[in-house]
Structure 1
Amino acid sequence: MQLLHNRISKRELKARLFAETVPRITVSLYKYFTITDPKAFRDEVYLKFSELNVFGRIYIAHEGINAQISVPENNFGTFKETLYGLSPELNGIRLNIAIDDDGKSFWVLKCKVRPKIVADGITDPSFDASNVGQYLKADEVNRMIGREDTLFVDMRNHYEYEVGHFENALEIPSNTFREQLPMAAEMLKEHKDKKIVMYCTGGIRCEKASAYLRHKGFPNLFHVEGGVIEYVRRAREQNLPLKFVGKNFVFDGRMGERITDDVIAKCHQCGAPCDNHTNCNNDGCHLLFIQCDGCRSKYEGCCSDACMEEHHLPAEEQQARRSGRIGLARSYRAE
């Protein structure tokens, strides 16, 4: 019988990953297309990718597929053939290759069926996700940025924008995409006469956001093809000046890709220049925050004195304190 889920402990999986000698390639991909039977498609994807030792996170829904994964370098060609063969809609799909990659981004394959591949909160049946804005390539992005008739809009979460963004881009201050969409429509209504360029990490959110704003009557919409990842890759290949400053947050174990040397954020505890995200070591918290090396040592990877104290308690007492308590925060996750 073929297994359709992982049965190995997290500790063993991590040990296996760090014992590997074959380099890995971290890649993200997405595609909006109709999947009639997401469960059957999910099982096929899981089985085929497991055979190729692919790790990562894959979401499948009626509206398509969204994946952030790592692939052994020696299996990459076979992986692409397998991916392209899953559906005609996936044949030749763009793959966003990680910019700053140590190959240790994932240690297990998780493949899940979800209502949508990116949670958007849209319930209007007349919404057409395929009616998107115009794609912009790297050179086109550079030509448009800074123009008075153009507004760049960041469709990522606040903690992503905090460590890196396009020059003078407008932040939609939110921690979830579903909150951002109506907020963006409201914030941008006085700019309907401008060209609005939307961007995100790999393209999946800004593509849907452009369709949402079209649905709301915005006429001049664009989005960066392949998001920040593809923009930076193409800009470097073409020796173009980088208009994205700082670090690009990513939803895996790396938590970020260094784009430029600029550090535009600060440690949340001492205020020193820093753009390194971490999750609080206290199992009852796991707050995602920015912490410098000095504060990491001082607070032992925790976000506060209270969390550091709780982190040192016996496991039974930690569980007793957490029982019935609303979580202090959440770990990062792709939304």
Structure 2
Amino acid sequence: MAKKLLFNKYDKQTLFKKVISDPRERRVVSFYRYVKIEDPASFRDNLYEKMDQLGILGRIYLAEEGINAQFSVPVEEYSRLRMLVDSIPELKNIYFNDAVEDKKESFLKLAIKVRSKIVADGLDDKTFDPSDVGTHLSPLEFHEALSEPNVVIVDLRNNYESEVGHFENAICPDAGTFREELPMVEDILKEEKGKKILLYCTGGIRCEKASAYLKHKGFEQVHQLRGGIINYAKAIQDNGLVSKFKGKNFVFDDRLGEKITDDVLTVCYQCGKPADRHTNCANLGCHVLFVQCEECAAEMENCCSESCKSMVQLPEEEQKKIRKEGRKHSYPTHHLTRKLVGK
């Protein structure tokens, strides 16, 4: 009997054509759970086979500590997905976070990977229990708590995420990774242990780990937004309230952002005009993530610098040869400074 294929075998261009030509409407969904998974490798293969049968495309990380998933599913298969997930003991009744905006090409393939942790936190503390989390607040409870006196609001996302959108009066640590952020947040809050702490992130998973970490470090009033910004935006919209989250919610798929309000909180790294459009440099040897307005994108051919622009103007085969040979190019970064224009 032939072994089932449990990974993608097509190139990106072929995958894009397949997704675009599929007439089915797709819904973007995410979920996570800290739960003991005894054999992540076998769990992975079983999950891949069943999700692939439903036409699911996305990115899923598994570890002994749990699961972290972001994907799109054909709308007609949504109920079958729910049944599939509930049939797996480790995932039964897991909360589905539906995206604010759906885009068919958000994901092009299904990738399920086994890692040491579902969120890289840099922690090596054997006494730390990630399941001992803070108090979950519903979006409406969190919305009300934001107006309470003496609360401390903390954004647990990376700086490139919070620069385009964040809650009013939030502390937005200037960290490029979650592992950098945890000790940074602990230090920022060291004089605030008696206050009510409100944590938020994109979908909730980083808050889950961070709230447990802060409790472990002696913080007593730790609260977190259930379902993250994604869940908050939907609840605010459904209840006709004015959002206290301003700007865009950065997301880790091809959309790179969901617009929550029309506020633009940062500027184009190249010309300084108000902009909130994240993009990756078109030079695959660079691929840096930065904010670029439409005008600069056209002028710079979606590149971050003149050297990268010169590179993408070369024939594709020559670009590939340069990348393959590992030649280094000096990419100027002085123009790629993040510029927040308001909080």
The TM-score, its normalising length taken from structure 1, stands at 0.95
Query: Is contact 1:276-1:290 (8 Å) kept?
Result: yes
How big is the shift at 1:158?
Answer: 0.3
SS in 2 for 1:104: helix
Provide the residue aligned with 1:206 in structure 2.
207
Give the direction of change, closer, same or farther, for the CA distance of 1:281–1:317 in structure 2 (3 Å limit).
closer
Provide the residue aligned with 1:84 in structure 2.
86
Provide the residue aligned with 2:263 in structure 1.
262
SS in 1 for 2:189: helix
Provide the residue aligned with 1:5 in structure 2.
7
CA distance in 2, matches of 1:318, 1:327: 17
CA distance in 1, matches of 2:138, 2:295: 40
CA distance in 1, matches of 2:229, 2:322: 43
Cα deviation digits, residues 92-135 of structure 1 (max 9, x gap): 21111010112221010000000000001110100010111101
Greater mean deviation of Cα atoms: 146-155 or 182-191: 146-155
CA RMSD in angstroms, aligned pairs only: 1.6
> What is the identity, as a one-letter code, of the residue corresponding to 2:27?
I
How big is the shift at 1:326?
Answer: 8.7
SS in 2 for 1:222: strand
Provide the residue aligned with 2:335 in structure 1.
none
Query: Is contact 2:59-2:69 (8 Å) kept?
Result: yes
Provide the residue aligned with 2:110 in structure 1.
109
How big is the shift at 1:328?
Answer: 6.2
SS in 1 for 2:266: coil
Cα deviation digits, residues 269-293 of structure 1 (max 9, x gap): 1111110100000111001001111
Alignment of 1:1-335 (within 5 A): 1-87=3-89, 89-314=90-315, 315-316=317-318, 319-320=321-322, 323=326, 325=328
SS in 2 for 1:78: helix
How big is the shift at 1:300?
Answer: 0.3
Query: Is contact 1:282-1:308 (8 Å) kept?
Result: yes
Give the direction of change, closer, same or farther, for the CA distance of 1:130–1:101 in structure 2 (3 Å limit).
same
Query: Is contact 2:60-2:111 (8 Å) kept?
Result: yes
SS in 2 for 1:265: coil
Cα deviation digits, residues 21-78 of structure 1 (max 9, x gap): 1100000100110000000000011000000110000000000110000000111111
Percent identical among aligned pairs is: 48
> What is the identity, as a one-letter code, of the residue corresponding to 1:233?
K
> What is the identity, as a one-letter code, of the residue corresponding to 2:60?
I
Structure 1 runs of 4+ with >6 Å offset: 326-329
How big is the shift at 1:235?
Answer: 1.8
CA distance in 2, matches of 1:328, 1:7: 33
CA distance in 2, matches of 1:92, 1:154: 27
> What is the identity, as a one-letter code, of the residue corresponding to 2:195?
K
Give the direction of change, closer, same or farther, for the CA distance of 1:327–1:206 in structure 2 (3 Å limit).
farther
Query: Is contact 2:198-2:223 (8 Å) kept?
Result: yes
Greater mean deviation of Cα atoms: 315-324 or 174-183: 315-324
How big is the shift at 1:264?
Answer: 1.1
How big is the shift at 1:317?
Answer: 5.5
Please list every run of 5 or more consecutive structure 1 residues that lacks an aligned counterpart in the other structure.
330-335
> What is the identity, as a one-letter code, of the residue corresponding to 2:32?
Y
How big is the shift at 1:316?
Answer: 3.1
> What is the identity, as a one-letter code, of the residue corresponding to 1:57?
R
Please list every run of 5 or more consecutive structure 2 residues that lacks an aligned counterpart in the other structure.
333-343
Cα deviation digits, residues 135-180 of structure 1 (max 9, x gap): 1112211211143320110000001000000111001111110110
Give the direction of change, closer, same or farther, for the CA distance of 1:274–1:5 in structure 2 (3 Å limit).
same
Query: Is contact 2:16-2:105 (8 Å) kept?
Result: no
CA distance in 1, matches of 2:263, 2:319: 43
Greater mean deviation of Cα atoms: 61-70 or 136-145: 136-145
Query: Is contact 1:310-1:318 (8 Å) kept?
Result: no
Query: Is contact 1:54-1:109 (8 Å) kept?
Result: yes
